[in-house]
DNA sequence: GCCAACGTTGGC
DNA sequence: GCCAACGTTGGC
């Protein structure tokens, strides 16, 4: 069982939108970087944990937790000329881009702010606070995953 | 809106 | 296959 962090711009798709979906599930599409694609296509598996991170917004940080409920599969938006994610170069027979279905598990009482994450002494490897911070899909090791979730759940202030 | 970080592209 | 230029991400 692996742990991941997926970035999303909440103006486009937030954890609230995920909860509003049928089965609180959504096919995570639009990943268009090779590093992120490699994680998604080759390593993400059913049952994996996914931290939902809100970027480029007022309240930047980890908003909640989801899980992978279906194996990664080719992202159909790459073949859709009407989609913003259309990629005319992607071969039908060997699709370039992948996505995965995730399901909401938990919304944290407060967003665990990036600045708080940066101050946690145990967060050392997380690409978010290192080179690799631009990755849209990144691995989170078990220790750091536990620290992040425990901290996020404990941040209730009434 | 600015701009640093850094991935990608393309000339050679 | 190097590396400068370019474009995008994303925090602030």
Q: What is the pTM of this model?
A: 0.94
Taking residue A154's Cβ as centre, other Cβ atoms within 10 Å add up to: 10
Q: Which two tokens stand for residue A83?
A: 């989609």
Chain C positions with any atom < 7 A from a protein CB:
8-12
Q: Can you list the positions of beta strands (E) in chain A?
A: 3-8, 25-28, 49-54, 61-74, 98-113, 137-139
What is the spatial distance, in angstroms and rounded to an integer, between the CA atom of A81 and the C1' atom of C2? 35
Chain B positions with any atom < 7 A from a protein CB:
5-8
Burial of A84 (0-12, 13-18, 19+ CB in 10 A): exposed
Give residue-wise pLDDT tens across range A104-144: 999 999 999 999 999 999 999 999 999 889 999 999 999 99
User: CB of A134 under 7 A from strand B?
Assistant: yes
């Amino acid at each position: 069982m692996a742990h991941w962090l997926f970035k999303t711009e909440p103006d486009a798709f937030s954890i609230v939108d995920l909860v509003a979906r049928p089965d609180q599930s959504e096919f995570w599409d639009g990943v268009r970087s090779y590093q992120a694609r490699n994680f998604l296509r080759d390593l993400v598996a059913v049952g994996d944990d996914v931290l939902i991170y809100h970027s480029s917004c007022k309240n930047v940080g980890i908003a909640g937790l989801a899980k992978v409920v279906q194996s990664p599969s080719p992202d159909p938006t790459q073949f859709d000329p009407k989609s913003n994610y259309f990629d005319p170069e992607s071969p039908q027979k060997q699709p370039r881009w992948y996505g995965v279905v995730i399901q909401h598990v938990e919304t944290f009482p407060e967003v665990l702010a990036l600045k708080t994450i940066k101050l946690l002494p145990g967060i050392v490897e997380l690409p978010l606070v290192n080179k690799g911070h631009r990755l849209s899909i990144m691995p989170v090791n078990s220790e750091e995953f536990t620290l992040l979730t425990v901290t996020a759940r404990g941040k209730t202030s009434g």
